[in-house]
Amino acid sequence: MAHQIIATSRSRTGIPTGRLAVWWVIGSEILIFGGLIATYLLNRFNHGPSWSAEAAHTNTFIGAANTFWLLTSSLFVVLAHAASERRDARKTRMWIWLTIMLGGFFMGFKTYEYTTEILHGYTIFTSNFWSFYYTATGLHGFHVVCGMVIMAIIAENDIKNERNWHRVENIGLYWHFVDIVWIFLFPLMYIAK
């Protein structure tokens, strides 16, 4: 845009506009994932024994490894934010790319997990537990991929040119939220049996 818009520079709440919007995005995402998790829980309570038996087939090791990747990536992205506050472009980009790498590990493990499960006959049609499993983890995986793409854009388009530093924090908030969703999906799908 050719001219500067004054509206974007105002901040009556004291929260920068971009971050405020990210909070609202996270609020709406809470309800999207929360709606899915709430319906899952309702079903889980209704179909206790058969769903427990189904849940026994999920691969706890991969789930745990994926939790580890995401927790670590959360640390990396917050370090990227710390570096961006020091206006250290090299460090910021490094931490962002490390975060993307861990997101890649997550998706790689996820792919392996899906493959083995489908090969063992546990597809999205097998039973409603598996439908929920694939829908919830799939929706979460979609968010992970989106986050990775946006982070790559921020690292290469903004931080490389030393501008829009606040975007590092904004994407970081989103990434932490995706991490938190996994923190809840992990016990729901993998360890409660």
Partner 1 sequence: MAGHKHPSYLKIYFTLLILFIISVLGPELAEILGLEGVSRVVLVLSTAFGIAIWKAYLVCAYFMHLKVEKIYAPYILLACLSLLFVFFFGTATDAMFANGHNWVKEYSEEKALAEVIARDEHHEDDHGHSESHDDSHSEEKSH
Partner 2 sequence: MAEVAHAEVGHGEHHDDHHEPSFWSKYIFSTDHKIIGFQYMFTGMAMALIGGYFAYVFRMQLAFPGSSIPFWGTLSPAAYNSLVTNHGTIMIFWVAMPVLIAAMGNFLIPLMIGCDDMVFPRINRLSYQIFLLSAIVLLASFFVPGGAFGGAWTSYAPLSAKAQYNSTPFGAPLWLIAVTLEIVAFLLGGINFITTTMNARAKGMKIYDIPMMVWMIVIASILFMCSVGPLVAGAVMLLFDQTLGTAFFDANAGGDPVLWQHLFWFFGHPEVYVVLLPAMGIVAEVTCTFARKKLFAYKLILYSSIGLGILSFFVWAHHQFISGVDPRATYLFTTTTLLISIPVAIILFAFVATLYGGSIRFTTAMLFALAFTGEFLLGGVTGIWLGSSGTDIYLHDTYFVLAHFHYTFVPIAIIATFAAIYYWFPKMFGRKMNETWGKIHFWGTIIGFNGIFIPLFILGAGGQHRRIYNFQNYPDLAGADMQDMRVFATLSLIVMLVFQIPFIVNFIVSIKRGEKVGKNPWKANTLEWVAPSPPPHGNFGPVLPEVYRGPYEYSVEGREKDYWPQNEKPESEAT
Residues in contact with partner 2 by CB under 8 A are 1-17, 20-21, 24-25, 27-36, 38-39, 42-43, 46-47, 50, 124-125, 127-128, 131-132, 135, 139, 165-166
Rounded distance, CA 96 to CA 102, Å?
A: 10
Cβ atoms of 190 and 63 within 8 Å: the answer is: yes
Which of partner 2, partner 1, none has residue 7 at its interface (CB below 5 to 8 Å by kind)? partner 2
16 conformational bin, left if phi > 0, alpha if psi -120 to 50, beta if neither: beta
Rounded distance, CA 139 to CA 141, Å?
A: 5
Q: How far is the CB of 108 from partner 1 (least distance, A)?
A: 20
Residue 12: Cβ-neighbour burial (10 angstroms; 0-12, 13-18, 19+): exposed
Binds partner 1 (CB under 8 A): choice among 8, 42, 142, 149: 42
Rounded distance, CA 38 to CA 108, Å?
A: 28
Q: How far is the CB of 37 from partner 2 (least distance, A)?
A: 9
Question: According to CB under 8 A, which residues from 98 to 137 bind partner 1?
Answer: 118-121, 123, 125-127
Quick one: 20 or 152, whose CB is closer to partner 2?
20
CA–chain centroid gap for 2, Å, is 34
Cα dihedral 135, 168, 30, 180 sign: positive
Binds partner 1 (CB under 8 A): choice among 64, 146, 149, 153: 64
Interface residue list for partner 1 (CB under 8 A): 13-15, 19-20, 23-24, 26-28, 30-31, 34-35, 38-39, 41-42, 45-50, 53-54, 57, 60, 64, 67-68, 71-72, 74-75, 78-79, 82, 85, 118-121, 123, 125-127, 169, 172-173, 176-177, 179-180, 183-184, 186-187, 191-193
